[in-house]
Amino acid sequence: MMVAFCGLLLMTNMSASIANPLNDPETIERRVTELLGQMTLAEKIGQMSQHNASEGYAPDYLADGLRAGRVGSVINVVDVDAVNELQRIAVEESRLGIPLMVGRDVIHGFETIMPIPLGQAATWNRELVKEGARVAALEAVTAGINWTFAPMIDISRDARWGRIAESLGESVFLTNELAVAMVAGFQGDDLAKPGSIAACAKHFAGYGAVESGRDYATTNIPEIKLRNVHLRPFKAAVDAGVATLMTSFSDVNGVPATGNEFLLRQVLRDEWNFDGLVVSDWDSIRQLQVHGLTENDKESAFEAATAGVDMEMHGDAYSNHLAELVEEGRISISSIDTAVANILRAKFRLGLFENPFTNPEKLPSIANGRALETAQQAALQSVVMLKNDHGTLPLSAEQLSSVAVIGPLADAPYQQLGTWIFDGDVELSITPMHAIHSLVGRDVDVRYVRAMENSRSRVSEAFDEAVEIAGDSDATILFLGEESILSGEAHSRADINLPGDQAELVRRIRETGKPVIAVILAGRPLTLTNIVDQVDAMLFAWHPGTMGGPAIADLLFGIESPSGKLPATFPRMVGQIPIYYSQKNTGKPPSPDKIAHIDEIDTRAPQTSLGMTAFHLDAGYTPLFAFGHGLSYTTFDYEHIRPSAYEIGPGDTVTISAELTNSGDVAADEVVQLYARDLVATVTRPVRELKGFKRVRLEPGQTVTVAFDLHTNDLAFYGRDMRLRTEPGEFHVWIGGSSETELRTEFRIVDND
């Protein structure tokens, strides 16, 4: 058998200089079949098992497992020598020499950290997001990693959920587009090329809809909503060639995703023809029992394998029980073969049989500064200016003699990196406080007071000093928000106000009467209602990553104009959740004249009805900041929206265009957004859906025509029969700088029959 492996290797070396013929699908299928034919059942089950290798350097138990062919993949080893040693044992000392997939959570950067994914989504910049993933891949491969567990593309409409930080927000279209960009960045144009790593679209599916935003909780999602919302980004990722998918931890409509045959077989394999690898989440096969779906690990292995989970991440349900299940005839050998073929296919696609080892010196090097430049650009474009009264921003270093920099997140190099930064190099982090010093420190007296030990602090002893310094300075920049530990996996919150005494700090600083600018660093949308009126300007910077400081400083001092746009709606109150721009109209839609406020109810005059529309008595129906919102230092005017045709037929494309003018004084980027509404359909459709976006740069006074092509397929949705269709009828379309744009036109799809 060793000979067979060597033969493969020889063949590879001979053909290495030719344009990678090994990568053509037929060759890969042939090699998969040949290899499968040589494998014992134990070796097959070995491929289906991923082991945590975070402890020690090729520990004995793992080395033995590799020699015996009991391990198909390892997770959490990042020492290149250790990875090479594990690969060496797998390739040289196991019977068939099958190389390992080496997995790691490279979520938003490896050493150099980009903004959290939600922040990257706020850039609305496909190329930049792709480049961020590319940089992450190029850094990760130097450690021997060939598989990342990203992108996380769970549609998330609940800011309480800590993992909204890892998501690309609430919109199907924005998530689809950026998911595809991330997959392209990680995987490159050929998975087998040095510098590419396999991406993993996760968590399949519906995880973002956990009840009350509590991580791991139940999800109940009608099939039509699953198909129209939650599954769509996964389909986009599959179509874009994502190599792997990960199942969700959660229960979906009564069947946990890891044992969900409907999702994993019917949708993913039968309808979408996905031939990549499906991995469970960490220990999620064993957890089928904890969910109450199975009695024991053996039954959990049965359910997961039957549903179509190819590989078990960190667990031993498969390794302990699959063989027995096959012997009992409950699991067929052909279904095991299918799973193993999916795994081997991924390994062949990655070129691991040809190049199992990592020699960092032979990898494409990241050009000097490329990683940091990408991180800075991404941070710059991710920051959303939520408010800017009276042109408070940008600050002028010429006009200020002093500025107070106050708050627990002004100089917190680790916290600004955000969640999931296992390998992030905190030493590279440049904080806003340092960046402001470097940018204007020679001209402006920068006075820093931390004021609070951390964002949750209830100790206000240092507030007096902060107030004194703020009162004595020309302006105050408050760095508030939440530390990285407050978002991410298992870090959900029920109250999404600024934690601790931060609101009180804002109130005290406000009393100085000096301009107050708040810069919020956070892993989720926060309810900012209690502080928004207390500040003159507000930047929302998410967790901006390694280069967050310089990006924020450049924006504060007008080196560049803010251009980020919200990828998720900001509620006024937590009780409005889920609040998102693409809601349905309802039969009783609210409007400003059809709502009442709880404080205005006159209980002396008996009333039985108040507006009778879909609103909250205390919060109304609008968000604090809408999806797509984001201000600039310039002003953009939109006009003359028009369709290229007022009637189109099925299969046609209509072009929607509008004129955009930079009517202000500075050059700036604008993210132009296209929304559409299907007015009447056989199932109710959202009041607006994002259908296109473009980031454009305009000089002062410049006018451009921005055009979007809309094919009738782009307006398709799943109907009552769960089939995708576009229905004829009238469509409204809007172009503008946020989901609240009123610049509208319309067209019809006419049925030719």
The yes or no reply on residue 489 touching ligand NOJ (CB under 6 A) is yes
Give 228's contacts (C-beta < 8 A, 6+ positions apart).
172, 717, 718
Cα gap 736→742, rounded to integer Å: 8
Say if CB 147 and CB 99 are below 8 A apart: no
Cα gap 194→203, rounded to integer Å: 27
Catalytic site residue from 251, 281, 310, 536: 281
Cα gap 93→51, rounded to integer Å: 18
User: Count residues contacting ligand NOJ (CB under 6 A)?
Assistant: 6
Q: At what angle do helices 2-15 and 25-38 cross, to 10 degrees?
A: 170
Cα gap 614→609, rounded to integer Å: 13
Burial 193-215 (b: 16+ CB within 10 A, else e): eebbbbbbbbbbbbbbbbeebbb
Binding residue for ligand NOJ, selected from 70, 130, 202, 685, defined by CB under 6 A: 202
In whole angstroms, the minimum distance from the beta carbon of 600 to ligand NOJ comes to 46
In whole angstroms, the minimum distance from the beta carbon of 317 to ligand NOJ comes to 16
- The sign of the torsion formed by the CA atoms of 181, 185, 189, 190 equals negative
- Nearest CB to ligand NOJ, comparing residues 164 and 336: 164
- Nearest CB to ligand NOJ, comparing residues 201 and 326: 201
Say if CB 192 and CB 350 are below 8 A apart: yes
In whole angstroms, the minimum distance from the beta carbon of 103 to ligand NOJ comes to 8
Q: Name the residue with the smallest CB distance to ligand NOJ.
A: 149
- The sign of the torsion formed by the CA atoms of 429, 433, 434, 436 equals positive
| Structure-token pair, residue 436 | 């402001």
- Nearest CB to ligand NOJ, comparing residues 70 and 202: 202
Site for ligand NOJ in 446-465 (CB under 6 A): none
Give 214's contacts (C-beta < 8 A, 6+ positions apart).
160, 161, 492
Give 641's contacts (C-beta < 8 A, 6+ positions apart).
656, 657, 658, 733, 734, 735, 743, 744, 745
Q: Active site includes 665?
A: no
In whole angstroms, the minimum distance from the beta carbon of 148 to ligand NOJ comes to 9
What does the per-residue mask of binding to ligand NOJ show for 67-96, with x meaning CB under 6 A? ------------------------------
In whole angstroms, the minimum distance from the beta carbon of 422 to ligand NOJ comes to 9
| Structure-token pair, residue 242 | 């994502």
Say if CB 577 and CB 559 are below 8 A apart: no
**H or E segment and range at residue 674:** strand 668-678
In whole angstroms, the minimum distance from the beta carbon of 214 to ligand NOJ comes to 14
Site for ligand NOJ in 166-185 (CB under 6 A): none
- Nearest CB to ligand NOJ, comparing residues 281 and 337: 281
Cα 107 to the center of its chain, rounded Å: 9
The yes or no reply on residue 108 touching ligand NOJ (CB under 6 A) is no
Say if CB 279 and CB 343 are below 8 A apart: no
Binding residue for ligand NOJ, selected from 161, 274, 282, 627, defined by CB under 6 A: 282
In whole angstroms, the minimum distance from the beta carbon of 420 to ligand NOJ comes to 8
Amino acid at 484: S
In whole angstroms, the minimum distance from the beta carbon of 202 to ligand NOJ comes to 5
Q: H-type helices in 230-296, by residue range?
A: 232-239, 261, 287-291
Please provide the size of the chain in residues.
753
In whole angstroms, the minimum distance from the beta carbon of 659 to ligand NOJ comes to 44
Binding residue for ligand NOJ, selected from 111, 170, 251, 281, defined by CB under 6 A: 281
Of 326, 250, 307, the residue nearest 40 (C-alpha)? 326
The yes or no reply on residue 543 touching ligand NOJ (CB under 6 A) is no
- Nearest CB to ligand NOJ, comparing residues 107 and 406: 107
Cα gap 527→577, rounded to integer Å: 11
In whole angstroms, the minimum distance from the beta carbon of 82 to ligand NOJ comes to 18
- Nearest CB to ligand NOJ, comparing residues 259 and 571: 259
Name the phi and psi angles at 357, rounded to 5. Answer: -100, 160
What does the per-residue mask of binding to ligand NOJ show for 424-443, with x meaning CB under 6 A? --------------------
Of 145, 114, 131, the residue nearest 420 (C-alpha)? 114
- Nearest CB to ligand NOJ, comparing residues 53 and 400: 53
Cα gap 296→455, rounded to integer Å: 43
- Nearest CB to ligand NOJ, comparing residues 202 and 677: 202
The yes or no reply on residue 105 touching ligand NOJ (CB under 6 A) is yes
The yes or no reply on residue 734 touching ligand NOJ (CB under 6 A) is no
- Nearest CB to ligand NOJ, comparing residues 50 and 582: 50
- Nearest CB to ligand NOJ, comparing residues 313 and 553: 313
706: left (phi over 0), alpha (psi -120 to 50) or beta: beta
Binding residue for ligand NOJ, selected from 5, 124, 149, 731, defined by CB under 6 A: 149
Catalytic residue list: 281
Positions in the binding site for ligand NOJ (CB under 6 A): 105, 149, 202, 281-282, 489
